[in-house]
Amino acid sequence: MPRAEKALIAQIKRMAGKPGRAVIRGIGDDCAVLRPPAGHELVITTDLMLEGTHFRRDWHPPDSVGYKCLARGLSDIAAMGATPMAAFLSLGLPQDVRQSGVKGFFHGFMRLANEYTVTLAGGDIAESKRGIVADIMVIGSLPRGRSVVRSGAQPGDIIYVTGALGESAAMLEQLMKRGKKAAKDDPLSRHFYPDPRLEVGQYLRARKLATSMIDLSDGLSTDLDHICKESKCGASIVRDLVPMATGVGSRIALDGGEDYELLFTANPSKRIPIEIAGVPVSEIGWITKERGVKLIEGARTRKLVARGWEHFKKS
């Protein structure tokens, strides 16, 4: 059983450490109090992580669950080109979770929080009758009017993606086939500890290089479709240009979720470095006036259907 609520909050407060500059009041009152930098606007995201849907206790160590919970939120902040200020965590814990598991969760969570100097500024703790629930909320900031949104892509823009795709979904497939053994093989997998691309997002935003951006959480085919729908345009992708993780086939690289890489578009007049903050950046296609997403495979062109993750979708 976790510690009693008050003792647990006191423990989390100790682990959270001193609040950062923008956080006037952290854990311990009815609300946290934040003072964003002058001339900045705020970006806010929430991401729900549920046992049985997003992770399994027998596959994912507590450290990974805590890390990934925050990483998912930070990845959305990266996709706006913003800098994270504070995180808020709502945690539902069943009676059968051990105190060591709670500690492991916060170990992973705080490791990532400290890496990007994000203050854990508040949240809620409750007993869950039915599995672990972790909802993350992250607030970031950036100069007024400068957020990079999904709707700014223009026909003729080049499409770029960071890193290599498919490793996370490939690991999930391995876990489904081989269970926990698969996890043991690769504790450093991006499936367990995805690094949010905050520096890349901030680099692109600060230099006004990207016309639109999204993080790859649902899969390239689905997330590119989001950009096209919001920007009222289409896209063509060249399969051989899509960077795929070692040993990953194109189906998983194109449709697999949870890569947490960045997908963005830029005017062809802009020079995009082949690497930003140590992360490779690949050109994979272009934005078209004609709607729909196409995949060019050698001499053939076919429709790329959005087959990434969607909750409650009838299969």
Q: Which residues contact 252 (CB under 8 A, 6 or more apart)?
A: 166, 169, 170, 173
Q: Are 160 and 263 in contact (CB under 8 A)?
A: yes
- Least distance to a second copy, CB of residue 7, Å: 9
CB of 55 to a second copy, least distance (A): 11
Distance CA 142, CA 76 (A): 14
When the beta carbons of 216 and 244 are compared against a second copy, the nearer one is: 216
Q: Which is nearer to a second copy, 216 or 237 (CB)?
A: 216
**Distances 115 to 4, 178, 216, 256 between C-alpha atoms, Å:** 29, 32, 21, 27
**Please, which residue, 3 or 307, has the CB nearer to a second copy?**
3
Q: Which H or E run contains 248?
A: none
User: Minimum CB separation from a second copy for residue 277, in Å?
Assistant: 19
- The nearest distance, CB 87 to a second copy, in angstroms, is 10
Rounded to whole angstroms, the Cα distance separating 41 from 43 reads: 7
* Shorter beta-carbon distance to a second copy: residue 29 or 58: 29
275: tokens are 């690497």
Q: How far apart are CA 70 and CA 197, in angstroms?
A: 13
The nearer residue to a second copy, 52 or 187, going by C-beta atoms, is 52
How far apart are alpha carbons 159 and 226 in whole angstroms?
13
The nearest distance, CB 78 to a second copy, in angstroms, is 8
